[in-house]
Amino acid sequence: MPATAYRVGAKEKLVKMESLVSRYTKIAVVVAAYWAISISMVFVNKYLLSSEDLKLNAPLFITWFQCVITVLLCFLLSLFSQFLPDLVSFPSIKLDLRLCRATLPLSVVFVCMITFNNMCLKFVGVAFYYVGRSLTTVFNVLFTYLLLGQSTSFKAIICCGVIILGFFLGVDQEGAAGSLSLMGVFFGIAASASVALNAIYTKKVLPLVDNNVWRLTLYNNINACVLFVPLMLVFGEVSEVMNFDKLNSVSFWYMMVVSGIFGFAIGYVTGLQIQVTSPLTHNISGTAKACAQTVIACVYFAEIKSGLWWLSNMVVLAGSCGYTEVKRREMKQQHDVASAQLAKVDAMEKSLLKNGEEAPSSEKLPLV
């Protein structure tokens, strides 16, 4: 091999290696950012919702304020993207009242989801938060069948059964430890159901906003800001906030703003993680993150848990990972079948063209 050709080949390999390293580095940074923001957001929200330092019994107000911060950040980033397009990339925002009304049903589910999530976190510890909200996959399967008429494989249902077993074992062990909150369990179940419903309705509503997640985020949070007002009035949180002794505290509002920024950022890094990896990898990352969050919470709050309590977390984790693996195999099988059908169509078209006959449209060919 001539020396020039050798140098060219070595250079191409080096470029490919650098490109691969760059890609893996980007994935690692994005996943680390997702973990850091998600875990930090849970701990900050826990502090605001049930800290002995604050003693502010206004979870709806805290959730409403987070929605306000999200709306403001959307407008700011949209403005910056117009003046600094090279530095900030964000879709332009134009409010449409018709879209506000069209997205309202989803916004109601969205309000329930974020409210129940925060209410669950208010009544349970961060360590139990993962198990307390672990039924999302189960409700997703249930609502997919009831609302969309789509059945689920037997293997996936078995995995859901494992998750349910782990959930009840975790509830039992929380009770044995004397730290069980029935209100927390109720809101955890409600949060799981709301998360599953939100995912289903999001898919239906996204086409209304041109499949733009940020536009949907904006309309969802604008509607939420309005929906929370009567709720805060009905549950007496307005007077609770007005009489709050730390209302003029800079540190309190600092934590409130930080929680709102984290709430906005988690939406961004979630989409970014899915973009640089895949939805399946995102689910695996989220499950692993929740496991790490549980360990961190036990260490931070100096909580000692029994072996069965840890077993409940492992059972839920195993069921979730098993469900993810089953869905991965099913998606791969569907992809392989579709690829084989397309290959068959292409081969038939080439054969007909070779024989001088008109190739039928692939739309006319029956797919198995």
* Segment 312-367, tens digit of pLDDT: 999 999 998 898 888 888 888 887 888 888 878 877 777 777 766 555 554 444 44
Distance CA 76, CA 261 (A): 12
Rounded to the nearest 5 percent, the helix, strand and coil shares of the chain are 80, 0, 20
Distance CA 63, CA 115 (A): 7
Confidence check: pLDDT of 235 > 50 = yes
Percent of the chain whose predicted confidence (pLDDT) is above 70: 90
| Whole-number pLDDT of residue 16 | 56
**Residue recorded with tokens 């910056």:** 80
Mean residue pLDDT of the chain comes to 85
Lowest mean pLDDT, pick from 64-78, 174-188, 238-252, 335-349: 335-349
| Whole-number pLDDT of residue 140 | 87
Q: How many helices (H) and strands (E) does the chain have?
A: 13, 0
Q: Which range, 11-20, 206-215, 297-306, 349-358, is most confident?
A: 297-306
- Cβ atoms of 227 and 233 within 8 Å: the answer is no
| Whole-number pLDDT of residue 166 | 94
Average pLDDT over residues 68-87: 88
Confidence check: pLDDT of 134 > 60 = yes
| Whole-number pLDDT of residue 357 | 55
| Whole-number pLDDT of residue 368 | 42
Confidence check: pLDDT of 195 > 90 = no
- Cβ atoms of 205 and 197 within 8 Å: the answer is no
Between 307 and 211, name the one with better pLDDT. Answer: 307
| Whole-number pLDDT of residue 104 | 93
Lowest mean pLDDT, pick from 70-79, 188-197, 210-219, 347-356: 347-356
